[in-house]
């Protein structure tokens, strides 16, 4: 049994990639604004390791506004087919521009263009307006690479707590809680 939360995450993530039919890297990210109002949405995990868990987004979105006001977030992975979930809580930091550029370059061209056309979390008068914006950026970058928009980049959740939950019969579930301490991680085995 792993005693390091990152090696245990890696093992569970490999299982999820083998069993989940769609987006095993889908996770809920929960934030709260300056007034403490919580908000949650689904995003895709795009990198992970001992330094944290990375996702990318428009930095002018509601989640970005929340993270600017309150630099803490919680993540939740739920893999129904495995009857497992992982909760992660911690501080949030921007990934470097080089990391954001490298990931952006791997996205499909239409996804790159969509990052330029979208005012994420902000209303538009119609779908036609969005499609017109998309056509404009498509023409603007025709025949060339699409650079990363300055308002688009990554966030890294640096975990302070990681909880692994495993479903058990009769709701006698098992939880393993890892808490960051000076010099490493402490672990506790929890039951309902």
Active site residues: 171
Nearest CA to 148 out of 75, 74, 98 is that of 98
Residues near 153 by beta carbon (within 8 Å), at least 6 away in sequence: 56, 57, 59, 94, 95, 97, 100
* 3-state SS class at 99: helix
64 in helix, strand or coil? helix
The token pair at 183 is 């010099």
Give Dmax over CA atoms of the chain in angstroms: 60
DSSP annotation string for 24-38: TTEEEEEEE-TT--E
CA 183 remoteness from chain centre: 26
Angle of helix 127-140 versus helix 109-117 axis, rounded to 10: 120
**Contact at 8 Å (CB) between 25 and 44?**
yes
**Gap between the Cα atoms of 78 and 149, Å rounded:** 31
């Amino acid at each position: 049994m792993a005693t390091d939360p990152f090696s245990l995450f890696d093992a569970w993530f490999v299982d999820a990639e083998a069993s989940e039919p769609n987006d095993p890297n889908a996770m809920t990210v929960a934030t709260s604004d300056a007034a403490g109002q919580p908000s949650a949405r689904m995003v895709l995990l795009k990198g992970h390791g001992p330094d944290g868990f990375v996702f990318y987004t428009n930095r002018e979105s509601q989640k970005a506004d929340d993270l600017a006001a309150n630099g803490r977030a919680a993540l939740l992975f739920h893999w129904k087919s495995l009857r497992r979930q992982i909760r992660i809580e911690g501080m949030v930091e921007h990934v470097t521009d080089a990391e954001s550029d490298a990931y952006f370059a791997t996205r499909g061209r239409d996804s790159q263009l969509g990052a330029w056309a979208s005012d994420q979390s902000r209303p538009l008068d119609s779908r036609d307006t969005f499609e017109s914006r998309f056509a404009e950026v498509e023409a603007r970058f025709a025949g060339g690479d699409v650079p990363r928009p300055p308002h688009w980049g990554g966030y890294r959740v640096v975990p302070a707590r990681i909880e692994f939950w495993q479903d058990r019969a009769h709701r006698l579930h098992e939880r393993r809680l890892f808490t960051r301490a000076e010099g490493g991680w402490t672990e506790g085995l929890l039951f309902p």
